[in-house]
Structure formats: structure tokens, C-alpha cells
Amino acid sequence: MKVASPAILAGVLLMAATGVTQAQQAPGAGFYGAIGYHYVNPKSGNGTLAGVFRSDINSDSEPTLTVGYNFDANWSAEAWLPLTRFKHDVSLDGAKSASIKHMPYLFTAQYHFLPDSPVRPFIGAGYGFVNVSGERTTGPIAGTTLNVKGADGFVGQFGADWYASDNVFVRADARYFDWKSKVELNGAGIGEVKVNPWIYGVSVGYRF
């Protein structure tokens, strides 16, 4: 399992808060893009399957891409997705029983505070959907066919951009994705998993 260190996020935020004091030019309308690394951390205890088995989904980290558009100094909209699929092991009553891969696509509208400051906090909200694939079974359910359905839901977001110049910035952010998927085993429905992950990450971006 790949684990993203919280020290990375703390270090970026500390650098943003203390590293630069001079004002930067507030962004006008235009596109921006960022390459990052994000950690998907599902909630603990993801539901009960077949009425009996407690399911747990572990975490994963992958490189990501953000593409957005600034409407003015405060408002923007962006799309976020991983560059490779996230992969998670699934345990039933503590025994590793499956693995899944997924590709989430998250879209948010954002409001940015302090547009003349080098450190620009923001909040956002929007919509996301996820495509689940690559289900594999092992352990107690080896040899069966597992199908985890795609899903969609609300996305909430907060973070901060540190502008090293008028165009180059470093971002630390967190997203909450309200994601629940129906699960089938050998074609029969056995319940629903509530993934509901927090997604934490850092990115380096450029405003065009």
C-alpha cells in the first residue's frame, strides 16, 4: 500500500505561509494546469456485504492532472483526474478478498480568497463520477466474479495556492467525494459499499 506523508502537505502549507511576503498580481481570466500527486483515503468500514461480511477498502496514491479556468480574480472552475487508475485492496471481515481499480473524474467551481496575496486559500463544490474496473477476487471468494458498479456524487474541496511568481504556483488541497457503489457477486446483488474518500494532494501548476 502506498502512503502519502502528511508532512509533505504540512511542509507545503508552511512554505506558503512563510516563504513569500510580497504581493503578486491578481489573476485575470485564463486557463491553468497542474500536475500533482494525490492520496485517496476511503472511510473506515465501507459497509456490510451479503448481510454478513464487513468490507474495508484500503488507500492508494497516484499522479494526477488538474485543468481549470479562472473567470476573474476570485472565481474559477476545474476538472481533476488521475493519470493512472487508483488501485485498492478490499477486505471482508479482515481477510483480503478482492482488489479494484478506479478512475474518478471530479469537477468543482471554486471561490479564491486574497487574490492579491501570494497565498490564496479557496473553497469549492461540485460533482464527480467514477469508473470502477479491474475487479479481482482472492482468498475466501477466489474464483468468483465480482462487479463493482460505477457511481457519482457530491464533491467538496478546500485548499490553498502559493504563487512563487505571477504564473507558477504550488497547491495543497483536499477533496471529499460522496461515492457509494452497488456490488454484485456472480451476477447477484450483495449490497453497497460506501467509499466516501478524502483525497489529499500537492500539485505544481502554471497559469497561462
Fill in the DSSP letter of residue 25: P
DSSP helix/strand/coil, 97:
strand
Question: From CA 102, how far away is CA 153, in angstroms rounded?
Answer: 15
Question: From CA 32, how far away is CA 16, in angstroms rounded?
Answer: 19
Contacts of 193 (CB under 8 A, 6+ apart): 46, 47, 49, 55, 57, 148, 180, 181, 183
Decide if pLDDT at 4 tops 50: no
Fill in the amino acid letter for 55: S
Cell of 63: 499522479
Question: What band does 17 get if pLDDT is binned at 50, 70 and 90?
Answer: very low
Confidence (pLDDT) at 71: 96
Of the two residues 152 and 22, the one the predictor is more confident about is 152
Weakest-pLDDT range from 42-56, 108-122, 123-137: 42-56
The residues facing 150 across adjacent strands are: none
Which is nearest to 16 in space by CA: 99, 121, 94, 105?
121
Question: Are 18 and 51 in contact, with CB atoms under 8 Å apart?
Answer: no
Question: Are 110 and 95 in contact, with CB atoms under 8 Å apart?
Answer: no
Confidence (pLDDT) at 51: 81
Decide if pLDDT at 21 tops 60: no
Instruction: Identify the helix (H) or strand (E) that includes residue 101.
Output: strand 95-112
Confidence (pLDDT) at 20: 44
Question: Are 168 and 206 in contact, with CB atoms under 8 Å apart?
Answer: yes
Render pLDDT for 150-205 as a digit per residue (tens, 0 to 9). 999 999 999 999 999 999 999 999 999 999 999 999 999 999 999 999 999 999 99
Render pLDDT for 148-162 as a digit per residue (tens, 0 to 9). 999 999 999 999 999
Cell of 3: 502512503
The residues facing 88 across adjacent strands are: 100
R_g of the chain computed on alpha carbons: 19
Neighbours of 31 (CB within 10 A): 13
- CA angle at 158 for the pair 15 and 44, rounded to the nearest 5°: 105
Render pLDDT for 67-125 as a digit per residue (tens, 0 to 9). 999 999 999 999 999 999 999 999 999 999 999 999 999 999 999 999 999 999 999 99
